[in-house]
Structure 1
Amino acid sequence: MTISPTRKTALVVGVTGSFGAHAAQALIKHGWAIRGLARDPAAAAARVGEHTPIAWVKGDAMDAGSVVAAAAGVQLIVHAANPPGYRNWKGTVLPMTDSVIAAAKASGARLAIPGNVYNYAPDAGPAIAEDAPQAPATRKGALRVEMERRLRAASDHDGVKVLILRAGDFFGPAAPNSALAWLAQKARGRVTGVFTPGPAGHAFAYMPDLGETLARLVDQEERLARFEVFHFRGQWIERGAELGEAMRRACGQPKLPIRPFPWLVVQLAAPFNETFRELLEMRYLWRKPIGLDNGRLVKFLGQEPHTPLDAGLRATLIDMGCLEDEPAAPRQASRATSAMAPAM
């Protein structure tokens, strides 16, 4: 493949994933050309579709050499690759981080990475600032802290430009691994119920908004420090049942059942299923209110991109095939309801 030089080019590692796809779409709207790294470029191109023009480069995020080669001449590297299904974090997260650091060092590009709240203790609170102490309570949290330590060291010692955009849980179109995939009960192409995982407040990021935020930040490279961290607040769900109530409005089903999440089933199945084991480890996120303070981001950009929750849920459910692409309406006209909008 011949790569033509352009004024602004971004390499997106993990472009077929939830954040990577939305980051690429937002960057394209902001005038960036996109390169995508993939082990199988043909399969990746088919998965992404023609609506997202990408110059594909064959390579693997675990192979630093192929990432360095793919990043030659770019101004931005977006590292959005994640272990699929929560599996093998220990064996993949840090090697991929080292690969993109090497690529950023060789190319001089800004390295942008989506952060999450795993870095913080269960009692960190609903408004965590960028300078809050990091005290992870899980193995994945410890890996994320080490990942960010390596990014900081690369910035301090090697001059690598880093941008961490931290968000909570995530949902949105083209995000099959989002929380809605396991919180929404589905049958015959419709939502039949919603699970409530816990009583505490919970932070959600609507993927199109998060991608747009990244694009706006990197468009102001001249204002960014060498090492930057911004917190994205997104959708703050104050009560556990609030998500279910919003789903009722988005679906136009005022009586949609809201049920407690079957944690006991997950606990019993965890010894035999790695994804369930990892999900159980992160249960604390639903027991304690853990959210992010976006004051610094709002001051820098003027505002945080924000889609109303019900609208974001509807777009997500339409993409999941659970709703038709038309305005929601209650099943009984006399019971009208109002209309709302993350992993690593």
Structure 2
Amino acid sequence: MNGIPLNPRSRALVLGASGGIGSEVARQLREAGWQVRALRRGGAPSPASSSAPGVQATNPALPEAEHIEWIDGDALSRDAVLRAAQGCALIVHAVNPPGYRRWAQVVLPMIDNTLAAAAATGATVVLPGTVYNYGPDTFPVLREDAPQQPLTRKGAIRVELERRMQAASERGVRSIVVRAGDFFGPRVGNSWFAQGLVKAGAPVQVVREPSARGIGHAWSYVPDVARTMLELIARRDTLPAFATFHMAGHWDANGMQLSEAICRVARGHGLEPQRKPFPWTFVRAVSPFVTTLRELMEMRYLWREPLQLDNARLVAELGREPHTPLDEAVEATLMGLGCLGAQERMQKAA
């Protein structure tokens, strides 16, 4: 990856390297010449263990897995994280509980372990941020200095997580937070795109639309997010000790542009999907009995009001924001998720 200078201690630890954002950051770090180490229970993932839901035969993240030093361990174990971080100049904290479950029990202990390891090794911590930290009082345009007054339990946990990072920066632990809209990408199976708008592993027949017409929403293509992180990592020594940046990503101004792009791309592959509203009424009825659906209902406010991220600070630092054209990003995502129906297309996405 041209233009990203290596550090003499160019070893990085990625927590969550088998997930959507973690695997992409790990891949791009490898391409940039970093030695990548990953901590994961069970060590290296098998093809089936890290595929998107419903995707068979190929695992888009697997080609990079063999070039990563996989260490068996748990991000909830401070000793395991400390051991894995030895000799690392960077810790990418991209680990989250799956399906919105157990946030209260595990999110803060995991960041505490990462910060302890960074303090012990001198590593910089990089975090994919969320918009959960903010309530509607900061909408419709979200800037880095906006007050963090969340509406939800998950939002309050994320606020505390970043507060602990900022407090650690006052003790010498450097951190970078890159905040973006809803993630999508060819390796991202746990996402609104893959689990709400389309059905991963099957040709696109229906595209569900969570937003009401006219309600804008921010989306971020994960390879662009990872590229942004790498460019900021290259500048980490010149950034503030606790540096936060927002990405504009793909701004869906009327809430329909992403679904229109999915249909446009699908038609180019011989499919004719229908667009339908997301079944919020059904989700509300079932949510008392299903944890994941209950958590989705808690976040519905993000689909009821427009939310756009201001990237002025990022552009001032980098000169521009890495950005893949929407149809190109959507096509790669649908290929990687197995939603265009041809196995060779998934292989091409990998």
Residues 44 and 231 of structure 1: CA distance in aligned 2, closer, same or farther (over 3 Å):
farther
Q: Distance in 2 between matches of 1:307 and 1:191?
A: 22
Q: Displacement of 1:57 after TM fit?
A: 1.6
Measured against aligned partners, the alpha-carbon deviations of 1:268-297 in whole angstroms (never above 9, x if no partner) come to: 111111000000000011001112100111
Name the structure 2 match of 1:29: 31
Name the structure 1 match of 2:84: 70
Q: How does 1:230-245 map to 2 (within 5 A)?
A: 230-245=245-260
Which range moves more in the overlay, 137-146 or 6-15?
Answer: 6-15
Structure 1 residue 165 corresponds to structure 2 residue 167? no
Verify the 8 A CA contact 2:197 2:209 in the aligned structure 1. no
Q: Displacement of 1:44 after TM fit?
A: 5.8
Name the structure 2 match of 1:145: 159
Verify the 8 A CA contact 1:6 1:33 in the aligned structure 2. no
Structure 1 residue 201 corresponds to structure 2 residue 237? no
Verify the 8 A CA contact 1:38 1:44 in the aligned structure 2. no
Structure 1 residue 270 corresponds to structure 2 residue 287? yes
> Which structure 1 segments of 5+ residues have no match?
327-344
Measured against aligned partners, the alpha-carbon deviations of 1:187-241 in whole angstroms (never above 9, x if no partner) come to: 9831111111122111111011101111111012232221100111111111122
Name the structure 2 match of 1:342: none
2:45 is paired with a residue of what secondary structure?
helix
Q: Find 1:215's aligned residue among 227, 230, 236.
A: 230
Q: How does 1:2-21 map to 2 (within 5 A)?
A: 7-21=9-23
Which range moves more in the overlay, 281-290 or 250-259?
Answer: 250-259
1:252 is paired with a residue of what secondary structure?
helix
- TM-score norm. by structure 1 comes to 0.89
Name the structure 2 match of 1:90: 104
Name the structure 1 match of 2:115: 101
Provide the aligned length of Structure 1 versus Structure 2. Answer: 321
Residue type matched to 1:268 in 2?
A
Structure 1 residue 121 corresponds to structure 2 residue 135? yes
Which range moves more in the overlay, 298-307 or 248-257?
Answer: 248-257
Measured against aligned partners, the alpha-carbon deviations of 1:293-327 in whole angstroms (never above 9, x if no partner) come to: 0011111111111011111111111111111466x
Identity value in percent = 48
Which range moves more in the overlay, 46-55 or 276-285?
Answer: 46-55
Which range moves more in the overlay, 267-276 or 5-14?
Answer: 5-14
Verify the 8 A CA contact 2:101 2:292 in the aligned structure 1. yes
Q: Find 2:334's aligned residue among 300, 305, 317.
A: 317
Q: Displacement of 1:39 after TM fit?
A: 1.3
Q: Displacement of 1:43 after TM fit?
A: 3.2
Name the structure 2 match of 1:184: 197
Q: Displacement of 1:255 after TM fit?
A: 5.7
1:114 is paired with a residue of what secondary structure?
strand
Residue type matched to 1:120 in 2?
Y
Q: How does 1:22-61 map to 2 (within 5 A)?
A: 22-43=24-45, 47=50, 48-52=61-65, 53-61=67-75
Q: Distance in 2 between matches of 1:38 and 1:232?
A: 28
Residues 25 and 226 of structure 1: CA distance in aligned 2, closer, same or farther (over 3 Å):
same
Name the structure 2 match of 1:174: 187
1:270 is paired with a residue of what secondary structure?
helix
Verify the 8 A CA contact 1:201 1:237 in the aligned structure 2. yes
Q: Distance in 2 between matches of 1:277 and 1:187?
A: 21
Q: Distance in 2 between matches of 1:188 and 1:107?
A: 41
2:141 is paired with a residue of what secondary structure?
coil
Q: Distance in 1 between matches of 2:201 and 2:160?
A: 43
Residue type matched to 1:27 in 2?
L
Name the structure 1 match of 2:58: none
1:51 is paired with a residue of what secondary structure?
helix
Residue type matched to 1:93 in 2?
V
Measured against aligned partners, the alpha-carbon deviations of 1:33-68 in whole angstroms (never above 9, x if no partner) come to: 100001111436874423341011221100111101
- TM-score norm. by structure 2 comes to 0.87
Q: Displacement of 1:6 after TM fit?
A: 6.7
Verify the 8 A CA contact 2:198 2:207 in the aligned structure 1. yes
> Which structure 2 segments of 5+ residues have no match?
1-6, 51-60, 346-350
Residue type matched to 1:318 in 2?
M
Name the structure 2 match of 1:294: 311
2:38 is paired with a residue of what secondary structure?
strand
1:191 is paired with a residue of what secondary structure?
coil
